[in-house]
């Protein structure tokens, strides 16, 4: 895809690919991404990890979350607060979920965690540039969230190979991730 494409054009093309990707490809690539993530030094060292709860064709995080909890890591997930602000919510074992704003899934029982306690944040995206620029769904939730994180906290984007572009158009309001893991 050319850099001349607008954010909305890129978003439209990639979201269509996400929705039409074969399930077996999504599962296979998600497992490969999980394996890569779990081998990183930052993941091994992290005690508190924020995962997104995948939906709508994203890299699947369900198995990642279960395995991280089995390894003794505390897992938190995003919940949408007031004014389009993401808060980090502790995910307890066997938590029940409800539909949150914008179609996301959130735990029924919400216990927010101070962002300072996070060690690693796993970030979704529609597309990523090789250097970490991120294109989300257009509401700015994660841009605002990532800018609130203390600088020591590492953010990693998860993506399928077709979501990686040479460059992403960006504005000063856009936030990048430290690294992208893809397959």
pLDDT, residue 109, reads: 87
pLDDT higher than threshold 70 for residue 4 = no
Say if residues 78 and 88 touch (Cβ distance below 8 Å). yes
CA-based nearest residue to 102, from 124, 80, 87, 118: 80
Give the architecture (CATH level 2) of 7-17+42-182.
3-Layer(aba) Sandwich (3.40)
Residue % of the chain over a pLDDT of 90? 80
Average pLDDT over the chain, rounded to whole? Answer: 93
Residue 103 zone, left/alpha/beta (φ > 0; ψ -120 to 50; rest): left
The full set of domain ranges for the chain reads: 7-17+42-182
Q: Is the alpha carbon torsion for 113, 30, 26, 8 positive or negative? A: positive
| Structural tokens at position 132 | 């970490």
| Structural tokens at position 123 | 């970030």
pLDDT higher than threshold 50 for residue 72 = yes
Cite the DSSP H helix spans in 40-135. Answer: 41-45, 62-70
- Rounded Cα–Cα distance for residues 105 and 68 (Å): 19
Residue 137 neighbours by CB under 8 Å, 6+ apart: 11, 102, 126
Cite the DSSP H helix spans in 71-162. Answer: 141-148
pTM: 0.93
Q: Are strands 48-50 and 97-99 parallel, antiparallel or unpaired?
A: unpaired
pLDDT higher than threshold 70 for residue 2 = no
Sheet holding 134-135, edge to edge: 134-135, 127-129, 164-165
Q: Tell me the per-residue pLDDT of 8-56, one tens digit each, with 9 for 90 and over.
A: 999 999 999 999 999 999 999 999 999 999 999 999 999 999 999 999 8
Q: Tell me the per-residue pLDDT of 96-131, one tens digit each, with 9 for 90 and over.
A: 888 887 778 899 888 999 999 999 999 999 999 988
pLDDT higher than threshold 90 for residue 94 = no
pLDDT band at 83 (very low <50, low <70, confident <90, very high): confident
Query: Greater confidence, 83 or 148?
Result: 148
């Amino acid at each position: 895809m050319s850099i001349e494409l607008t954010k909305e054009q890129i978003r439209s093309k990639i979201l269509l690919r996400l929705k039409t990707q074969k399930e077996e490809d999504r599962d296979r690539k998600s497992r490969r991404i999980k394996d890569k993530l779990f081998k990183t030094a930052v993941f091994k060292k992290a005690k508190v990890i924020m995962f997104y709860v995948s939906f709508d064709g994203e890299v699947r995080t369900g198995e990642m979350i279960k395995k991280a909890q089995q390894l003794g890591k505390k897992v938190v997930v995003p919940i949408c607060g007031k004014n389009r602000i993401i808060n980090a919510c502790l995910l307890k074992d066997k938590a029940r979920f409800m539909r949150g704003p914008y179609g996301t899934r959130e735990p029924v029982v919400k216990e927010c965690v101070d962002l300072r306690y996070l060690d690693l944040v796993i970030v979704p995206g529609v597309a990523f540039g090789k250097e970490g620029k991120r294109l989300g769904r257009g509401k700015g939730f994660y841009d605002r969230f990532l800018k609130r994180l203390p600088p020591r906290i590492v953010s990693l984007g998860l993506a399928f190979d077709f979501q990686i572009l040479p460059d992403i158009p960006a504005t000063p309001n856009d936030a990048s991730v430290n690294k992208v893991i893809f397959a």
